[in-house]
Amino acid sequence: MKNSSIIYGISANLDLVSTVANHLGIEIGKNEVKHFADGEIIVENYTTVRGKDIYIIQSTCPPVTERLFELLLFIDGLRRASARKITVIMPYYGYARQDRKANPREPISARLVADMLQMAGADHVVVTDLHTPQIQGFFTVPIDDLSATPLFGEYFSHNLKGKDIVVVSPDHGGIARARRLSTHLGPNTTLAIIDKRRPRPNQVEVMNVIGSVKGKTAILVDDILDTGNTLAEAAKALINAGAMEVYAAVSHPLLNDGACQRIEDSPLKEVIVTDSIPLEEKKKTPKIKVISIAPMIAEAIDIMENNGSMSKVYDIFKTKGEIA
């Protein structure tokens, strides 16, 4: 790595930052989040950044708005301190589900977040598994959307070897994500879709399983695990449709409102998630297994430092055996 580069964490992904920095042998900048009596915050930077390339790793996970505003303040401070280039790495992009006007007079919050990041001074944005790829169109600066699918693919290739696998999308909108995992697992892997209805927010009524799952090992794949309702109901539907066992692979483990208990009580055998969102101790359960995206992010930073092709970012898992 160049000695003109610095990596920072703020508050959300400090363990991830440390692991990435160790992979790269890069300096971790020193900073501190301070809270004033009236609730205002400031992010103090104690490392000189003039003329340097800066990488900030910060998921906008709960508390979402506070994490986002910390990031915006820090970017602004770095820009005013004459950093050469500011790359924001957001493993989880909060507000991504508000990507369109679903009802009259609603904001498009995902677009607003993109505007604020760029206005603050971000020169490049790297995310992981955006809720919808169209969000990339909200940016005028370069944006890279890394995918955890190859990590999941390597994990299941090792751990479900020899089984008849069907990859299942929990809704029609996730079929492209399911197809990518299916392709990674080989030509004999089939696809299925859960046809569901959502009568009100965070409530799911599963209707039908479209595709053959009888006698197969099913893998549900999704980008966000929020309350766990979707996965739990989908797993029940798959078992009722004849699936032998059900696994899940989800990029971002929010795990709100009793999600962990819901997963434990469900037919799901195992739920594989990434550390894009740090898993609190109270949210750790026997069924949830965490795979780190640190090697992928470290490889992405190394590629950016050397002006390489971002398509090479996933090779590290095959060549260095990061997944087992």
Q: Is the dihedral of CA 179, 182, 188, 194 positive or negative?
A: negative
CA distance 78 to 54: 8
Contacts of 85 (CB under 8 A, 6+ apart): 53, 54, 123, 124
For the chain, the helix, strand and coil percentages under 3-state DSSP, each to the nearest 5? 35, 30, 35
Q: How far apart are CA 208 and CA 167, in angstroms?
A: 15
Cβ of 144: how many Cβ atoms within 10 Å?
17
What are the residues whose beta carbons fall under 8 Å from the beta carbon of 185, sequence distance 6 or more? 153, 156, 157, 165, 167
Cβ 103 vs Cβ 110: under 8 Å: no
d(CA 308, CA 318): 18
Query: Is 196 marked active-site?
Result: yes
Instruction: Kindly give, in sequence order, each residue whose CB lies less than 8 Å from that of residue 282, ignoring residues fewer than 6 positions away.
Output: 260
Report in angstroms the alpha-carbon separations of 194 from 182, 209, 287: 16, 5, 22
- Residue 30 is given by DSSP the state P
Which of 52, 161, 163, 196 is flagged as catalytic? 196
Map residue 274 onto helix, strand or coil: strand
Beta strands in 185-298 (DSSP E): 190-200, 203-210, 217-225, 245-253, 268-274, 288-291
Instruction: Report which secondary-structure segment, H or E, holds 56.
Output: strand 53-57
Q: How far apart are CA 293 and CA 127, in angstroms?
A: 11
Give catalytic residue positions. Answer: 196
